[in-house]
């Protein structure tokens, strides 16, 4: 079943002034054991970026919160034949960069290297060993747990960590998205080496992996490399993720948490949409206008420019595998906390009822469409898109159709999407700050 | 690798208007595609071609930063940077920002001790729009009292966010304030809150009149450009601007330091932390040979670049007393900078234990030669990052602007990798012996007695 599906897309972007052309040629390949690869050739720089994405984010932690992150941070700390130092040497001696990341949905293992075989081969060899033969030495597990505990403890003194953790807990309760990926002191204490080994075996495997590659390599080399990576991954049916049985459920609640800081950290929001929702792009454009475009957005204009209340205020909609959040965030000195909360609620209700003005909508659409070449102007950007398209099962022409879809969005679409997805009367409002910030 | 340090000390080097970007590993690519010119009015222009995407980044760098400020008036350069977004007679309010946004561009600005810079990144066919607006605000800024009164409150919020509520931010500020007795690196870029309270719109417009002129600026444009067309555009928009007489910069040389400075600060509810700085030369220092700067750079790499670096290996892995450890040095600064080392202890580990281990690490650097393997690692990393950095046009522009503004000569780029590669183990030992000494050292400890 050696099937090669090649899909080529040229993106042509029309702007009012003249023709801009930005091409991303995305090719797809499926390895012998079924791992999907999306790759793009970028000839001008002799380097390669590989990102292997696993359906193994912290939603798979189960009761042992922090397990996914701990496992990923230990991947390069020992194989059956090499210790941590030798592994680091293998990458560093050629200037290669190995890294891992974990969020609530997914995890990834990445390698950046020079493309020349002399540099690339040793680090790829190392990468394959990590994927197939990571052994999680006892002493490394103890050390990494200790560092994680230290980090969790430090976070407790940081108002932005305290407030965001509390906010997501309020929005999602005991659902997987309600817990920070790093875990808690109690859960990290409970994690044993065998839990980590099991997580690795169950999740770092070919059945839930996809690969994105941006490089100056030839097609033949990319296919060879992909087969090697895919072969190094074991196969087992992956553990189910923790994303089932979750119904959208928003409620109105105000929470004040006392914290010894000069500024109050404020979050307002609730659950919004999944990846793939038909309302995603209308919400994206609506949010762009409301709080998602820096100084062009209403929130910045009103709270920073007009009133000098804050250095930064923003909103975002973050669609995830299951229902992601809608968030408005601001930091302001404690005395101004309640004024800011009132203003934001008022602005939200107004936007929800009336949507953007025609002028705002035209501006936003032009900005997004004209700015499209900037989204794909580096290998790093393209790599992240390839990985996202693969992981969230988006159509391979996602980038190709993006600006066209944006151009068709109307005020009506935005109003409808906000009415359907953002319940402005049932939002969580959290204020973390000193006594002066209290209602 | 395991952990990525979230708060990197280098983030305090520069303040961005909107977000913090960390300058991590500095390296440069070949200058084959670079063109340099100086206009008649003194404006320096650096163009660099990168045609990978139909995108361009247009920067203007002013040689003015907190290092040019005086006591009682700190934070002026950064406050002016904020006010530069308030509009001119011809383009009032946020028209500039609105236009850039509508064209699909991104823009921002940042201020350091040495410079203030503004940039727009946008589809390359709109470069002229960016130049039109940017050149207008070089000489026609309108500083209104009502705008200033609001913006200064924004800046105070920025200070609370970055410094007053961040123990590492406070420690960093205290380090510089204590290390330097006379050098203007003594004061924070954002300014002391007390000075922000007294600042007026008149201070801002005077500062603007003194320093914002073609003969105190460098335009850096990198991306999908044609050299001839671009230089003509720069001429068109900047060529007619009159140079101004630049106020002579007060030379504030740092006097001899009679011994180690030790500062212990207490911040309620925060974990303990230690940051130290040694006064070291920049490439601008005419009393030393430049290899010392390259050797100091390599020394910083030996200490903190990668999993096998000494701080990581000894403090984090072997002794298990630190959760993070880092070092930092930039040879591209106008005055002599600090060579920084900072450590976050594992919760419950005493600062004194960290200090003892740091002392041993430094003594070893002064007495024993670093290994060949370590030197090779640094060189491989510099060589690779020279290639990796080509993935960002903005990064390339920033390197050019920074070098031109702080050291004056971009030819350094040609020799950078070779100069790093030429550093020997003996030279690393020699700079360690010369500079990592107590009468160049200042240490700031946060909550050293509190567990």
- Per-residue model confidence (pLDDT) at position B12: 45
Domain count of the fold of chain B: 2
Dihedral angle at the C-alpha atoms of B326, B329, B333, B337, nearest 10 degrees?
Answer: 90
User: Pick the catalytic residue: B33, B36, B69, B81?
Assistant: B81
Same domain, A286 and A220: no
Residue B368 lies in a domain: yes
Same domain, B124 and B13: yes
Same domain, B100 and B207: yes
- Per-residue model confidence (pLDDT) at position B7: 32
Q: Residues 6 or more apart from A160 whose CB is under 8 A from it?
A: A265, A331
Measured at the alpha carbon of residue A173, what is the angle toward residues A169 and A176, in degrees to the nearest 5? 85
Residue A115 lies in a domain: yes
Do B104 and A367 lie within an 8 Å CB cutoff?
A: yes
- Per-residue model confidence (pLDDT) at position B13: 46
Same domain, A93 and A181: yes
Question: pLDDT class for A21, splitting at 50, 70, 90?
Answer: very low
Q: Indicate the pTM of the whole model.
A: 0.92
Interatomic CA distance for residues B450 and B351, integer angstroms: 10
- Per-residue model confidence (pLDDT) at position B450: 65
Tally Cβ neighbours within 10 Å of residue B25.
16
Interatomic CA distance for residues B411 and B429, integer angstroms: 27
Give contacts of A159 with chain B, Cβ < 8 Å.
165
- Partner A, chain B 235-264, Cβ-Cβ below 8 Å: none
Exposed / middle / buried, residue A231 (Cβ in 10 Å: 0-12, 13-18, 19+): middle
Helices (H), A134-192: 138-155, 159-172, 185-190
Residue B250 lies in a domain: no
pLDDT 10s digits, A132-170: 999 999 999 999 999 999 999 999 999 999 999 999 999
Distances (CA, A) of B24 to B8, B304, B312: 9, 12, 17
Residue A164 lies in a domain: yes
- Per-residue model confidence (pLDDT) at position A15: 25
Same domain, B390 and B437: yes
Same domain, A69 and A193: yes
- Measure CA B288 to chain center: 22
Residue B14 lies in a domain: yes
Give contacts of B104 with chain A, Cβ < 8 Å.
15, 366-374
Same domain, B94 and B160: yes
Do A378 and B53 lie within an 8 Å CB cutoff?
A: yes
Same domain, B179 and B272: no
Contact status of B126 with chain A (Cβ, < 8 Å): yes
Probe site for chain B from A21, A115, A378 (most B CB atoms < 10 A): A378
Contact status of A144 with chain B (Cβ, < 8 Å): yes
Contact status of A108 with chain B (Cβ, < 8 Å): no
| Residue B267's CATH number | 3.30.830.10
- Partner A, chain B 266-305, Cβ-Cβ below 8 Å: 268-271
- Per-residue model confidence (pLDDT) at position B397: 96
| Residue A195's CATH number | 3.30.830.10
Residue B256 lies in a domain: no
Measured at the alpha carbon of residue B115, what is the angle toward residues B109 and B121, in degrees to the nearest 5? 30
Do A95 and B385 lie within an 8 Å CB cutoff?
A: yes
Interatomic CA distance for residues A101 and A71, integer angstroms: 11
Do B1 and A74 lie within an 8 Å CB cutoff?
A: no
Strand pairing category for B55-62 and A428-433: unpaired
Mean pLDDT (whole number) for A375-390: 95
CB B60 within 8 A of CB B139: no
Same domain, B293 and B226: no
pLDDT 10s digits, A246-303: 889 999 999 999 999 999 999 999 999 999 999 999 999 999 999 999 999 999 999 9
Beta bridge partners of A267: A329, A430
Same domain, A92 and A143: yes
Same domain, B228 and B83: yes
Q: To the nearest whole percent, how much of chain A has pLDDT over 90? A: 89
- Per-residue model confidence (pLDDT) at position A22: 53
Catalytic, B81? Answer: yes
Mean pLDDT (whole number) for A63-90: 97
Strand pairing category for A209-215 and A36-41: parallel
The sign of the dihedral angle between the CA atoms of B23, B28, B32, B37 is positive
Give contacts of A44 with chain B, Cβ < 8 Å.
51-52, 390
Same domain, B173 and B291: no
Residue A82 lies in a domain: yes
Same domain, A189 and A338: no
Same domain, B168 and B273: no
Same domain, A335 and A222: no
Same domain, A199 and A261: no
Strand pairing category for A325-333 and A263-271: antiparallel
Q: Of A166, A171, A188, nearest to A322 (Cα)?
A: A171
Residue A117 lies in a domain: yes
Same domain, A218 and A111: yes
Interatomic CA distance for residues A215 and B185, integer angstroms: 43
Same domain, B231 and B271: no
Do A22 and B53 lie within an 8 Å CB cutoff?
A: yes
Residue B2 lies in a domain: no
Same domain, B269 and B315: yes
Same domain, B277 and B184: no
Give the structural domain span for B17: 9-238
Contact status of B145 with chain A (Cβ, < 8 Å): no
Residue A11 lies in a domain: no
Residue B163 lies in a domain: yes
More confident call, A236 vs A427: A427
CB A47 within 8 A of CB B388: yes
Interatomic CA distance for residues B34 and B225, integer angstroms: 11
Categorise residue A355: left if φ over 0, alpha if ψ from -120 to 50, beta otherwise: left
Res A99 pLDDT > 90: yes
Give contacts of A92 with chain B, Cβ < 8 Å.
306-308, 377, 380-381
Interatomic CA distance for residues B143 and B84, integer angstroms: 8
Please, how many CA atoms are within 13 Å of residue A63, restricted to the half-sphere of its CB? Answer: 6
Residue B285 lies in a domain: yes
Its ipTM equals 0.91
Residue A21 lies in a domain: no
Q: Of B292, B294, B278, B283, nearest to B342 (Cα)?
A: B278
Residue B399 lies in a domain: yes
pLDDT 10s digits, A306-319: 999 999 999 999 99
Residue A241 lies in a domain: no
- One digit per residue, the tens of pLDDT, for chain B of length 451 reads 233 233 333 344 455 443 323 333 344 444 568 999 999 999 999 999 999 999 999 999 999 999 999 999 999 999 999 999 999 999 999 999 999 999 999 999 999 999 999 999 999 999 999 999 999 999 999 999 999 999 999 999 999 999 999 999 999 999 999 999 999 999 999 999 999 999 999 999 999 999 999 999 999 999 999 999 999 999 999 999 999 998 888 888 899 999 999 999 999 999 999 999 999 999 999 999 999 999 999 999 999 999 999 999 999 999 999 999 999 999 999 999 999 999 999 999 999 999 999 999 999 999 999 999 999 999 999 999 989 999 999 999 999 999 999 999 898 988 999 999 999 999 999 999 999 999 999 999 999 986 5
Same domain, A216 and A274: no
Interatomic CA distance for residues B351 and B449, integer angstroms: 8
Same domain, A317 and A424: yes
Give the structural domain span for A323: 253-437
Q: Of A399, A393, A375, nearest to A25 (Cα)?
A: A399
Interatomic CA distance for residues A313 and A329, integer angstroms: 6
- Per-residue model confidence (pLDDT) at position B207: 97
Domain count of the fold of chain A: 2
Exposed / middle / buried, residue B350 (Cβ in 10 Å: 0-12, 13-18, 19+): middle
Give contacts of B52 with chain A, Cβ < 8 Å.
42, 44-45, 377
Same domain, A330 and A380: yes
Same domain, A285 and A201: no
Q: Is B4 helix (H, G, I), strand (E, B) or coil?
A: coil
């Amino acid at each position: 079943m050696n099937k090669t599906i090649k899909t080529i897309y040229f993106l042509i972007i029309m702007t009012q002034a003249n023709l801009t052309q930005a091409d991303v040629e995305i090719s797809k390949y499926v390895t012998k054991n079924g791992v999907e690869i999306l790759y793009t050739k970028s000839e001008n720089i002799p380097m390669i970026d590989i990102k292997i994405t696993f359906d193994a984010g912290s939603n798979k932690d189960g009761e042992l919160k922090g397990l996914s992150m701990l496992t990923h941070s230990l991947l390069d700390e020992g194989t059956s034949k090499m210790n941590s130092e030798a592994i680091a040497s293998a990458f560093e001696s050629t200037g290669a960069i190995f890294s891992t990341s974990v969020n609530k949905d997914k995890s990834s293992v990445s390698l950046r290297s020079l493309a020349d075989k002399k540099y690339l081969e040793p680090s790829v060899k190392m990468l394959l060993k990590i994927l197939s033969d990571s052994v999680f030495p006892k002493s490394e597990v103890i050390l990494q747990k200790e560092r994680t505990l230290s980090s969790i403890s430090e976070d407790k003194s940081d108002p932005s960590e305290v407030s965001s953790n509390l906010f997501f807990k309020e929005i999602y309760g005991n659902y997987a998205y309600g817990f920070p990926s790093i875990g808690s002191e109690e859960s990290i204490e409970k994690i044993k080496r065998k839990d980590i080994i099991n997580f690795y075996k169950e999740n770092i495997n070919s059945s839930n992996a996809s690969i994105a590659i941006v490089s100056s390599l030839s097609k033949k080399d990319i296919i060879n490399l992909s087969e090697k990576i895919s072969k190094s991954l074991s196969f087992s049916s992956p553990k189910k993720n923790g994303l089932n049985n979750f119904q959208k459920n928003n409620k109105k609640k105000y929470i004040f948490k006392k914290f010894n800081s000069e500024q109050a950290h404020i979050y307002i929001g609730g659950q919004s949409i999944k990846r793939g929702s038909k309302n995603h792009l209308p919400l994206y454009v609506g949010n762009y206008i409301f709080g998602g475009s820096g100084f062009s957005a209403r929130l910045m204009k009103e709270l920073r420019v007009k009133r000098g209340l804050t250095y930064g205020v923003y909103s975002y909609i973050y669609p995830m595998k299951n229902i992601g959040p809608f968030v408005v965030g601001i930091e302001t000195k404690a005395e101004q906390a309640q004024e800011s909360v009132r203003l934001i609620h008022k602005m939200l209700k107004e936007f929800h009822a009336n949507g953007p003005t025609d002028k705002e909508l035209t501006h936003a659409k032009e900005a997004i469409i004209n700015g499209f070449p900037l989204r794909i102007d580096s290998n790093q950007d393209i790599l992240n898109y390839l990985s996202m398209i693969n992981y969230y099962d988006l159509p391979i022409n996602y980038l190709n159709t993006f600006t066209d879809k944006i151009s068709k969005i109307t005020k009506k679409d935005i109003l409808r999407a906000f009415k359907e997805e953002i319940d402005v009367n049932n939002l969580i409002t959290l204020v973390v700050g000193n006594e002066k910030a209290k209602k | 690798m395991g952990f990525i340090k979230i708060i990197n000390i280098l983030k305090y080097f520069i303040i961005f208007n909107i977000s913090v970007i960390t300058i991590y590993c500095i390296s440069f690519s070949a200058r084959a595609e670079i063109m340099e010119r100086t206009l008649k009015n003194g404006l320096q222009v650096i163009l660099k071609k990168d045609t990978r995407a139909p995108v361009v980044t247009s920067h203007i760098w002013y040689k003015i930063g907190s290092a040019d400020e005086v006591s009682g008036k700190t934070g002026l350069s950064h406050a002016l940077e904020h006010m530069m977004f308030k509009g001119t007679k011809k383009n009032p309010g946020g028209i500039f920002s609105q236009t850039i946004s509508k064209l699909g561009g991104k823009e921002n600005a940042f201020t350091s001790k040495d410079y203030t810079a503004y940039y727009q990144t946008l589809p390359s066919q709109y470069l002229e729009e960016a130049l039109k607006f940017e050149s207008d605000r070089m000489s026609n800024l309108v500083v209104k009292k009502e705008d200033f009164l609001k913006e200064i409150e924004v800046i105070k919020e920025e200070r609370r966010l970055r410094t007053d509520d961040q123990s590492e931010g406070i420690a960093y500020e205290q380090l510089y304030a204590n290390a330097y007795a006379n050098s203007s690196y003594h004061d924070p870029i954002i300014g002391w809150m007390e000075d922000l309270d007294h600042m007026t719109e008149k201070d801002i417009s005077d500062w603007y009149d003194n320093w914002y002129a073609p003969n105190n600026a460098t335009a850096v444009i990198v991306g999908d450009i044609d050299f001839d067309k671009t230089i003509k555009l720069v001429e068109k928009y900047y060529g007619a601007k009159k140079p101004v007489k630049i106020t002579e910069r007060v030379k504030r040389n740092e006097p001899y330091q009679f011994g180690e400075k030790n500062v212990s600060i207490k911040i309620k509810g925060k974990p303990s932390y230690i940051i130290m700085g040694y006064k070291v030369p920049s490439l601008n220092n005419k009393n030393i040979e430049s290899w010392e700067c390259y050797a100091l750079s390599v020394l910083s790499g030996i200490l903190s670049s990668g999993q096998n670096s000494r701080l990581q290996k000894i403090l984090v892995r072997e002794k298990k007393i630190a959760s993070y450890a880092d070092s930092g040095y930039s040879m591209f600064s106008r005055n002599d900078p600090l060579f920084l080392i900072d450590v976050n202890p594992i919760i419950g580990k005493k600062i004194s234990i960290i200090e003892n281990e740091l002392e041993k690490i430094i003594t070893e650097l002064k007495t024993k030669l670093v290994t060949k393997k370590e030197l090779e690692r640094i060189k491989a990393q510099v060589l690779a990052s020279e290639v990796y950095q080509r993935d960002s046009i903005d990064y390339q522009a920033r390197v050019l602007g920074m070098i031109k503004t702080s050291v004056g000569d971009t030819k350094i780029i040609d020799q950078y990798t070779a100069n790093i590669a030429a550093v020997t183990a003996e030279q690393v030992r020699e700079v360690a012996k010369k500079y990592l000494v107590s009468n160049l050292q200042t240490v700031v400890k946060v909550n050293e007695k509190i567990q």
